[in-house]
Each structure stands twice: as C-alpha cells, then as structure tokens.
C-alpha cells in the first residue's frame, strides 16, 4: 500500500470515465506491478500448474478432500487470507495483490469457483460486518483453510429477485437464538462448507410460514447447527467439480450472537459483497481466458492441415487475435479498476473500519458490473474459439477444451446475471446523474448543444499522440454514449427504467467506452516505457486498434437501435445524421492488425502480455 500512497494512480470517481478522459499515468496497469507482487504472481502461477491442473481429474470426480486439500495448501502459502486483516490471522494485503492471486490461480474453473466462494463471498461479509467476537471465532479458521465458507442468498423462487427471499428468522422467547425456516438453492461449497452466511427475513413470532415482509438480515450458521440440512449435489452442465447444493432450514437454531450486522440491513451485506464478487469473477475469467487462449495457440501451431500448421491460416489468426484483444481489454479494465480501489483505500485513515473499506469499493459498483459482463463474455468467446480451433478434438472429453467450454457458461449467470448487470450499469449511472453525484446531465446537455451545431471537423485532429486514431474513436464513442443517453432520457425520463432493451444497448456502449479507454491508456503507457519495438508494446497497440474498430461499429449499431426506439420521422432522421457524423471513421486495416497480433501470440506461444 505504501507504494500507492505516493503513486499517481487516481481514485477517480466511479463512472467518471464516461465524462472525463484520463492520462496513462493515472491508471494502474499490470506492467505497474511491483517486485513483490510479481513474485507472488509467479508463486501462484507455479501452484496452478504444479498442484491445481494435475488435480483436475480428482476435482471433477469430487473426490473427497480434492478441493479442501488444495485450499489447505493454498492457506499454507497465505493465499486464502490475503483479504483477512492481520489481527485475525490473515495477510491484510492490498486488492491488487488479491486480484493477482485470483487471476493466476484461475486455471481450473471448478476449483476457482470453490476458492472464490471461500475467500470472497464466503468470508468478506464477516470481514466487513462481523463483530470482534464473530471475527475472532471464525476468521482464523477460514484463513487457515481449516474451515470452508459459503454464501447463501438465492432461493428456488428468487435468484435475480433477491430481495424477495422467503426464508424467515424468528427470535426465541428468551432472546437467546433465532429459529430459521426456509430453503436456499444453488449454494457453492454447500457440500463441504463449515460456515454459511445465510440471508433471511426477521419476522414477528407467530406470523405465517413465509417471510414476505420482515427485516432482511444475515446470519452466520455453522454446519452443525441443529435444523440445518444440506441437500443433494446438483448435476451441472459445467464446474462439475465444485459443490452446489440446496440448504434446508428446518427450525434451524442459530445463536442470537450470530446475527451478522444489523437486523433489516442484510441487503447491504448481500449486495455490497457482490461488487467485489463481480470484480473477482472477472479477474478469474481473465485467468481462465489466458489459459484457454494458450491452449488454442499451441494447438494451432502443432496441428497441420493442407500441408501447414493451421496457425498460418488467416481465419485461425483472426480467432486468436480477436480473443487476445478481448482478453487484453478485460485484463486492462480489471487492473485499472482494482488500482482505483486501492488508491481510494489508501486515502482512508490508518484506523479506518472495514465498513469504510466496503464503502470505498461500492463507489466502483458500475465498473464492477462492467467487468463482470465483459469478463464473462470474453471468456465465453475464448472458450468457444478454443473448441473451434481444435475442430473435432475440441468436442471430445479427452481434451480440456470441452470442459473449458462447459465451465465458462456459468459466469454469465451467477454473481448477478449479465442481464441484471446491464440494467445495473445504466440504472446506476442514471441514478447518480439524477442525484447530482455524477455530472452526467450537464455533459449530456453540452454534447446535445454541440451536436446540433454544424460539424467543426476537429474531432479526429488529436495528431501527434500515440494511437491518435484510436483516441479519436474513443472520444467519438464517448459522445455517442452521451448522445444516446440524452435522447433516451429526454424521451422516457424516469420511465427509462422500464425500457430494458434501450437500457441494455446503452450499457453495451458504456462497456465499450470503458474497455477501449482501459486498453488505450495501457497501450500508451507501454509505448511511453521506451520499449517501442518490443512484442508487448506492438501487440498492445495492434490489439487496441482491433478493439477501436469493434467499439465504433458496436456503438453505432447500438445507438441506431436506441434512436429508432426514441424518435420517428424528421426527428429520427436528424438524430441519425448526428450519429453518422459522430461515427464517421475510415476503417482501420483490421486484417493487418489481426495478423500482427496473431504473429506475436504464435511466436510467444501464449497471450503476448
Ligand atoms: C453453479 C451455481 C452456483 C451458484 N452459487 C451461488 C451461491 O454460492 N450463493 C447464492 O446465493 N447463489 C448462487 N447461485 C445462484 C445464482 O446467483 C442465480 O442462479 C442467479 O442469480 C440467477 O437467478 P435464477 O437462477 O433464479 O434466475 P432468474 O432470476 O429466474 O432469471 C432467469 C432469467 O431471467 C432473467 N431476468 C430475471 N430478472 C430479470 C429482470 N428484472 N430483467 C431482465 N431479465 C431478468 C435473468 O437474467 C435470466 O436470464 C448459483 C447458481 C449456480 C447455477
């Protein structure tokens, strides 16, 4: 943390990327990792290849102790306790290091899901909201890997609609304990966990069997609690080696001292932990995508068809470069975001409370949702292309591609489905704009005034700077986002919330802006490092070129749909003319860019950064 206190990394306000351009020095990139962090990353990567990958068969067969055994070994390295404060047996490290460990360990999705539940959503509610007594009792056990943690929010009838849970809790007559009734569904680590963070609504004694109303609250429930029953393992499409079980709470008796946080405030616990959960999920997707892309590249080099390695075919090269570019954007966004979080945390006083930590993270809720959507979709693409590059071999169980493809699918469903996260992205930004917390409305008004004037033809004239064309596209994409948001909010005002298709199209443009800006700033920072001709610098520049091309066409396409949903006749024609002007760019030679990226990947036999 001390390195960050003097670093120029900016704790920019959440969502401000949509309004303000940043300088490369203001964002954290993986190239900024210090020596200690690099060593930790190398140790984690070594553990992944020496211990996790060889255990794949045992993990997938759910052999007793396969997952727990690995968690214990990781605990011995301190890797399960990076975010647990030192006074409770943890390492209390910065979020960048925590993300880095997750990234490098994420080569086997069943295990990374189990680990994510253990060190993320299964532990952080206690770190942030637990009393000293609760922390002293449970955190050392979770830190050492002696105990496994789980987080139980979802129910059969409420997943996305999480506020609608029906599990109930009633305080006993003598006030000594709560009695919980209901059931939880899809609980990761359910079959192996020792401690569950369970959400239920506190209701008056004597009220009906289900808690339709009541105070949404969180409870720490030990596996041995009377009345807690663990249901049978689900048979899943993917991540089959991770445990997923329902829980039955049948008059489950929980000491009153195990209420976590305040009665009626459990939704803060449930949702705030999901911000970091989404960030971690995206980081795990980055690790998984890097691993999968490595497989695809090495296979393409080895497989010969029509007398030459398939890696020499342009269409295979295009797959490799598209995957590499998306991975590059996802990776750049993840480390940029976690860098902002650490910079924000570094501003807190030494004696800050865990709650303050959580509040600083909440500032970046929109970035966390963006990462979740982009990261999970990038991994899906890479997994799909890995199968395709491997042809028939990609489709059979004998090779890892088949499992990687199945495993990738869940990431678009849990930690808030990608539909829900798209709604969060636009909804959160609009809400902040309305509250005056983010000057989005003045920016929209300024842009609307500007675009209705005759064109000044100065938008692409940022000559001289590195990647000037890509910078101009970024500036245009930002304007398109503001323009589309302006038209949509003028048309629907507060009712925009009900126009989900428009909200999602806006979210996609906003995601593209964050992705391209993160990629561009990193490429420019790399270029400024003075190693202009090295493969990473040149690959980063070419990948940014590919991303810029995707961004402008996706932004234009999404905005066209939004405009057509918001206006008709002459007004629509005027809007479309403005959009055409904003999106007018001579296309880059993406064939050349793609070949250049693929050449680096093939030469290095991996993702080039
Ligand atoms: C393997 C696995 C592990 C899991 N681990 C955990 C865990 O550890 N703890 C836990 O609490 N939960 C866990 N979950 C549950 C997971 O978080 C939910 O499955 C997820 O939130 C979706 O909820 P649902 O399944 O009820 O789907 P639904 O909410 O019914 O959604 C169904 C579809 O409708 C869409 N939809 C729903 N509402 C809206 C809306 N307002 N607007 C637009 N579209 C909408 C969704 O995007 C989705 O496409 C896990 C699930 C799985 C499969």
pLDDT, position 531: 63
Burial of 315 by CB count in 10 Å (0-12 exposed, 13-18 middle, 19+ buried)?
Answer: exposed
Burial of 569 by CB count in 10 Å (0-12 exposed, 13-18 middle, 19+ buried)?
Answer: exposed
Q: What is the DSSP string of 350-366?
A: TT--HHHHHHHHHTTHH
- Indicate whether residue 58 lines ligand 1 (CB < 6 A): no
- Indicate whether residue 247 lines ligand 1 (CB < 6 A): no
Nearest-angstrom CA–CA distance, 485 and 175: 52
- Indicate whether residue 388 lines ligand 1 (CB < 6 A): no
Q: Is the pLDDT of residue 576 over 50?
A: yes
Summarize pLDDT for 367-412 with one digit per residue, the tens. Answer: 999 999 999 999 999 999 999 999 999 999 999 999 999 999 999 9
Summarize pLDDT for 301-324 with one digit per residue, the tens. Answer: 999 999 999 999 999 999 999 999
Q: How far is the CA of 455 from the centre of ligand 1 (A)?
A: 46
pLDDT, position 1: 42
Give the pLDDT band (50/70/90) at residue 433.
confident
- Indicate whether residue 188 lines ligand 1 (CB < 6 A): yes
Atom of ligand 1 nearest to the CA of 157: 26
Domains 2-148 and 267-419 share a fold: no
Task: Classify domain 436-604 by CATH number.
Answer: 1.20.140.10
Q: How far is the CA of 301 from the centre of ligand 1 (A)?
A: 39
Of 32-36, 201-205, 446-450, 588-592, least confident by mean pLDDT is 446-450
**Would you say 96 and 34 are in contact if contact means Cβ atoms under 8 Å apart?**
no
> Cα separations (Å) of 524 from 105, 174, 336?
28, 65, 14
Give the pLDDT band (50/70/90) at residue 206.
low
Q: How far is the CA of 157 from the centre of ligand 1 (A)?
A: 10
- Indicate whether residue 113 lines ligand 1 (CB < 6 A): no
Give the pLDDT band (50/70/90) at residue 207.
low
Summarize pLDDT for 544-569 with one digit per residue, the tens. Answer: 999 999 999 999 999 999 999 999 99
- Indicate whether residue 154 lines ligand 1 (CB < 6 A): yes
Q: Is the pLDDT of residue 3 over 60?
A: no
Indicate the CATH number of 2-148 among 1.10.540.10, 3.30.930.10, 1.10.3720.10, 3.40.50.1820. Answer: 1.10.540.10
Probe residue for ligand 1, chosen from 116, 123, 160 as the CB with the greatest number of ligand atoms within 8 Å: 160
Query: Average pLDDT over the chain, rounded to whole?
Result: 93
Domain locations in the chain as residue ranges: 2-148, 150-265, 267-419, 436-604
**Residues whose CB is less than 8 angstroms from the CB of residue 527 and which lie 6 or more positions away in sequence, other chains included:** 466, 467, 537, 540, 541
Summarize pLDDT for 134-185 with one digit per residue, the tens. Answer: 999 999 999 999 999 999 999 999 999 999 999 999 999 999 999 999 999 9
Nearest CA, atom 44, ligand 1:
419
Nearest CA, atom 53, ligand 1:
186
Burial of 61 by CB count in 10 Å (0-12 exposed, 13-18 middle, 19+ buried)?
Answer: exposed
Nearest-angstrom CA–CA distance, 29 and 466: 17
Q: How far is the CA of 274 from the centre of ligand 1 (A)?
A: 13
Nearest-angstrom CA–CA distance, 555 and 557: 6
Nearest CA, atom 17, ligand 1:
414
Q: Is the pLDDT of residue 430 over 80?
A: yes
pLDDT, position 459: 46
Nearest-angstrom CA–CA distance, 500 and 496: 8
Summarize pLDDT for 51-110 with one digit per residue, the tens. Answer: 999 999 999 999 989 999 999 999 999 999 998 988 888 888 999 999 999 999 999 999
Nearest CA, atom 41, ligand 1:
420
Average pLDDT over residues 436-451: 84
Of 367, 377, 415, 550, catalytic = 415
Atom of ligand 1 nearest to the CA of 423: 42
> In terms of DSSP H, where are the helices of 439-584?
440-451, 468-492, 500-528, 535-566, 569-582
Summarize pLDDT for 494-530 with one digit per residue, the tens. Answer: 899 999 999 999 999 999 999 999 999 999 999 988 7
pTM exceeds 0.85: yes
**Would you say 334 and 364 are in contact if contact means Cβ atoms under 8 Å apart?**
no
Probe residue for ligand 1, chosen from 123, 162, 417, 502 as the CB with the greatest number of ligand atoms within 8 Å: 417
Summarize pLDDT for 271-294 with one digit per residue, the tens. Answer: 889 999 999 999 999 999 999 999
**Would you say 507 and 423 are in contact if contact means Cβ atoms under 8 Å apart?**
yes
pLDDT, position 461: 44
Atom of ligand 1 nearest to the CA of 122: 8
**Would you say 60 and 235 are in contact if contact means Cβ atoms under 8 Å apart?**
no
Nearest CA, atom 23, ligand 1:
159
pLDDT, position 211: 55
**Would you say 108 and 201 are in contact if contact means Cβ atoms under 8 Å apart?**
no
Hey, which residues does 309 pair with through a beta bridge?
304
Probe residue for ligand 1, chosen from 186, 218, 278, 416 as the CB with the greatest number of ligand atoms within 8 Å: 186
Q: Is the pLDDT of residue 457 over 60?
A: no
> In terms of DSSP H, where are the helices of 567-589?
569-582
Is 415 labeled as catalytic in the residue annotation? yes
Atom of ligand 1 nearest to the CA of 161: 29
Probe residue for ligand 1, chosen from 157, 159, 270, 507 as the CB with the greatest number of ligand atoms within 8 Å: 159
Average pLDDT over residues 113-123: 94
Atom of ligand 1 nearest to the CA of 162: 21
Tell me the three-class secondary structure of 454-481, residue by residue: CCCCCCCCCCCCCCHHHHHHHHHHHHHH
Does the domain spanning 267-419 belong to CATH 1.20.140.10? yes
Average pLDDT over residues 489-498: 91
Q: Where are the extended beta strands (E) located within 273-381?
A: 304-305, 308-309
Give the pLDDT band (50/70/90) at residue 458.
very low
Q: What percent of the chain has pLDDT over 90?
A: 84
CB count within 10 Å of CB 159 equals 17
Nearest-angstrom CA–CA distance, 488 and 491: 5
Would you state the CATH architecture of domain 150-265? Answer: Beta Barrel (2.40)
Nearest-angstrom CA–CA distance, 480 and 486: 10
- Indicate whether residue 189 lines ligand 1 (CB < 6 A): no
């Amino acid at each position: 943390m001390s390195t960050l206190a003097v670093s120029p990394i900016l704790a920019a306000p959440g969502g401000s990327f949509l309004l303000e351009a940043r300088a490369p020095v203001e964002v954290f990139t993986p190239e900024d990792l210090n020596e200690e962090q690099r060593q930790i990353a190398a140790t984690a990567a070594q553990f992944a290849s020496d211990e996790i990958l060889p255990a794949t068969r045992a993990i997938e067969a759910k052999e007793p102790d396969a997952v727990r055994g690995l968690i214990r070994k990781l605990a011995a390295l301190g890797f399960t306790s990076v975010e647990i404060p030192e006074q409770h047996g943890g390492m209390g490290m910065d979020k960048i290091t925590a993300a880095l460990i997750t990234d490098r360990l994420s080569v086997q999705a069943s295990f990374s899901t189990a680990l994510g539940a253990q060190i993320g959503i299964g532990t952080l509610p206690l770190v942030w909201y637990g009393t000293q007594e609760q922390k002293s009792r449970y955190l050392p056990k979770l830190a050492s890997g002696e105990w496994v943690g789980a987080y139980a929010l979802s129910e059969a009838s409420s997943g996305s609609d999480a506020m609608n849970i029906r599990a109930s809790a009633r305080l006993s007559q003598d006030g000594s304990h709560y009695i919980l009734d209901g059931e939880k569904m899809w609980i990761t680590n359910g079959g192996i966990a020792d401690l569950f963070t369970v959400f239920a609504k506190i209701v008056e004694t004597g009220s009906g069997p289900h808690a339709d109303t009541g105070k949404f609250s969180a409870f720490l429930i030990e596996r041995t609690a009377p009345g807690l029953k663990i249901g049978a393992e689900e048979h899943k499409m993917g991540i089959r080696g991770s445990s997923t079980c329902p829980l039955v709470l049948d008059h489950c008796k929980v000491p009153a001292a195990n209420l976590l946080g305040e009665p009626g405030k459990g939704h803060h616990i449930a949702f705030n932990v999901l911000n970091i959960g989404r960030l971690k999920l995206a980081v795990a997707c980055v690790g998984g995508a890097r691993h999968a892309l490595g497989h695809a590249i090495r296979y393409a080099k080895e497989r010969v068809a029509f007398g030459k390695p398939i890696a020499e075919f342009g269409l295979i090269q295009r797959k490799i470069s598209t995957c590499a570019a998306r991975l590059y954007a996802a990776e750049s966004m993840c480390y940029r975001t976690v860098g902002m979080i650490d910079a924000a945390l570094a501003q807190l006083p030494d004696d800050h409370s865990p709650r303050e930590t959580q509040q600083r993270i909440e500032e970046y809720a929109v970035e966390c949702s963006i990462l979740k959507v982009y990261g999970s979709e990038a991994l899906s693409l890479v997994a799909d292309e890995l199968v395709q590059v491997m042809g028939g071999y990609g489709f059979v169980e004998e090779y890892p591609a088949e499992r990687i493809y199945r495993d990738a699918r869940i990431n678009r469903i849990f930690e808030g489905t990608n539909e829900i996260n798209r709604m969060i992205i636009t909804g959160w930004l609009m809400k902040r704009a309305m509250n005056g917390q983010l000057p989005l409305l003045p920016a929209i008004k300024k842009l609307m005034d500007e675009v209705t004037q005759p064109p000044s033809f100065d938008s692409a004239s940022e000559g001289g700077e590195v990647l000037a064309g890509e910078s101009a596209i970024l500036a245009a994409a930002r304007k398109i986002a503001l323009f589309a948001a302006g038209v949509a909010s003028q048309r629907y005002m507060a009712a925009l919330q009900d126009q989900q298709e428009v909200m999602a199209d806006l979210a996609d443009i906003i995601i593209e802006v964050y992705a391209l800006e993160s990629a561009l700033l990193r490429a420019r920072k790399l270029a400024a490092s003075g190693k202009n001709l090295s493969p990473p610098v040149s690959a980063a520049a070419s990948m940014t070129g590919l991303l810029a091309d995707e961004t402008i066409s996706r932004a234009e396409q999404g905005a066209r749909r939004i405009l057509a949903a918001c206006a008709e006749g002459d007004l629509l024609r005027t809007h479309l003319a403005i959009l055409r002007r904003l999106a007018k760019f001579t296309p880059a030679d993406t064939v050349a860019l793609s070949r250049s990226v693929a050449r680096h990947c093939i030469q290095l036999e991996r993702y080039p950064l």
